Each structure stands twice: as C-alpha cells, then as structure tokens.
Amino acid sequence: MTKKKITVAITGLNNTDNPGPGIPVIRGLLESTFFDVRIIGLAYENLEPGIYMEDHVDKVYSVPYPSIGTEALIKRIKYINSKEKIDLLIPNFDAELYSFMKSAKVLEEMGIKTFLPTIESFEERHKANLDKYGKQYGIKVPKSKSIFKESEIYSLSDDFDYPLLVKGKYYDAFVAYNKDQIKTHFNKISSKWGVPIIIQEFIKGTEVNVIALGDGKGNTVGAVPMRKQYITDKGKAWGGITIDDKKMISITNDLIAKTKWRGGMELEMIKTNNGDYYLIEINPRIPAWVYLAVGAGQNLPEALAKLALGIDFDYFTDYKLGKMFVRYSYDIIMDIDKFQKLSMTGEI
C-alpha cells in the first residue's frame, strides 16, 4: 500500500530532563503504517535538542513565544506554511494551546488542520477550577484553592493540613510541609508562570496516569493506563509500565463521553489504599510518555492525524500489558554552524 504523504508541524522539541512531547509524538508518526510524514519542527529556543535530531526532524523554524502575542505567532506560522505547505499542526505545550485554539479557523484557511480541545473544555479543566470540575462530572478531586498573593499563605492552615501541594497554573508542582516552604514555592512558580498558584490537598496513594484521545463526539479513540516506575526530582516519569486497570479506563471513558473531549489528554490520578481514585490534574494534550502507548499497540499520534484529516479508521479496543519504558539521554554532536544559522536566520 502506498502511504499518504503529509507534512506535520510539531512543537515541544525540548527533549531534556523535563521532556516535551514533541519527539515521542514524532516517533509515533514516523512509525505510521498509513502516513509518509515530513516533520517540520517549531522551536521556541535554539538549544531544544529535537532541533538537532536530523533522523526525526526534516526542517526547523524558530517561532515566537505565545506570550508575545497570538498575532506574532500566527504571522510566523503563515510564513512557514508559505514555504512548507503544512497539512497538520500538533502543538504540545499547555501554554501555547490557547493561541492555537483561538486561531483554528485562521489556520484552517491556510490549509492547516489541527485537532484540539474547544476553548470551553480547555478552560473548565484548569487546576484552579478542579473542585467545580469534579462536582460537575462526578469524579473525586482533592480540595484546592487558588491564591494570588503571598499574604494569603498565612490563612491556609484554616483549610489545609500539611503536607500540601503547591502548583503552577501551567507547570510545576512541589510538596510543602510548612508556610516557609509554601512561600518559597509560591515565589519560584509565580516568577516563572504567573498567578494564580494552586494549593492542593495532598492525597496519599499511588500515582497512576492515563493517556487518552477523544474524537470530540464523546467517544474514546484510545486509552492506555500507566504506573510510574521511576520519577525524577521534577516529578517527571523516567520509567513506567502499562497496567490492567479497568476502573481507570472506565473513569476516562465516562469523562470523555460527558465532556466530548477533542484531542489528546492525560489524566493524572492518585489511587488510595482504599481503592479510591482522585483526579489531581488534566493535561489537555498528548503527554511526553506517549511512545509507551505506541509500544503497547495504540499509535495515538497516528490516530490524531487521521482524526484531524478526516480519515476513517477503527478505534482501539485494547493494549498490551506489562510494556515498560525507560528514558535515557545521549549527546548529539554537531557543528556550531547549525546553531548559528538558526540563531541568525530562524530556520535550518
């Protein structure tokens, strides 16, 4: 069978100790049995390792941070598209999703497909809204509170016991055992991601995660649950294993059915010793451990591309148990002229 040729633009090339999903998504696409994929990397910084992984990325362009403004970002995408004729764009960072969701129609007019959550779905699952979200969709969540000022820290003991979690609105989460630690984490996270900072009840148990893909009509295209086997000091999974957990799959299917979720997602949950499940976070895009799902028999990046391009296919019904992933790092050796060219021209 002749594969369908497509050009896909992808962000999230920061394959470091806090890896972005870009390279694992690319690996899934390159292993597609349906598509012949040309990869266009979109980089926010010139030292993102994926830029220099020539066996994964065909061409790279620098793009402005979403914080500079949606208009500047889309103007840059328009220029890139004029040269590359992009069929599909897959953004992989929470902080950039709003700009791309807001610009979906403009991108469509350029001939660029996306497959992203609606703005309403994106907004309602924010960490700051987790209490309301849990009540609305019938799922247990930890008690949470958003704070905007350092002075609010001193009244937290009225509502929370220690330890507790201090979280950023996009990224970062730290355990705090006293007010001084809350203050340290508050200042560190807010200087990076702004406010609010979310204070969350600490639930004791085992952290389990589900990667899933929704078709926007209430159906689960695929879902794979995983238990972290090794966690870095940043709280990132450096190793994990697929598990047989029908309850987690049921929770995922129910949530996708009720929300009509569109696109990739990750549910981060805590399973208590009593067998209760608490949803602690929803990441509104494909997570960095997506290649485990590919290895377990669900090529979700390929499936997302088919959904975006309107190609019919059979949804996944099972996955392989006991499949493990372990991350590793290696050094890429290249000439400095590549770095200099990207810095000067914005493309290589």
pLDDT at 193: 83
Residue pair 259/273 in contact (Cβ under 8 Å)? The answer is no
pLDDT, one tens digit per residue, over 218-273 is 999 999 999 998 887 767 788 999 999 999 999 999 999 999 999 999 999 999 99
CA end-to-end distance (rounded Å), the chain: 32
pLDDT, one tens digit per residue, over 10-47 is 999 997 777 899 999 999 999 999 999 999 999 999 99
Residue 89 has pLDDT above 80, yes or no: yes
What structural domains and CATH numbers belong to the chain?
4-115+331-345 (3.40.50.20), 147-199 (3.30.1490), 204-326 (3.30.470.20)
Residue 296 has pLDDT above 90, yes or no: yes
pLDDT at 231: 80
Count of other CB atoms within 10 angstroms of residue 235: 15
> Strand pairing of 35-43 and 59-62?
parallel
pLDDT, one tens digit per residue, over 39-72 is 999 999 999 999 999 999 999 999 999 889 999 9
CA distances from 310 to 25, 113, 115, 295, 332 (A): 19, 10, 10, 24, 37
pLDDT at 330: 86
- pLDDT band (50, 70, 90) for residue 169: confident
pLDDT, one tens digit per residue, over 114-149 is 999 999 999 999 888 898 999 999 999 999 999 999
Of 29-33, 97-101, 171-175, 205-209, the poorest mean pLDDT is in 171-175
Q: What percent of the chain has pLDDT over 70?
A: 100
> What gap in Å lies between CA 17 and CA 161, rounded to an integer?
31
pTM of the model: 0.92
pLDDT at 268: 95
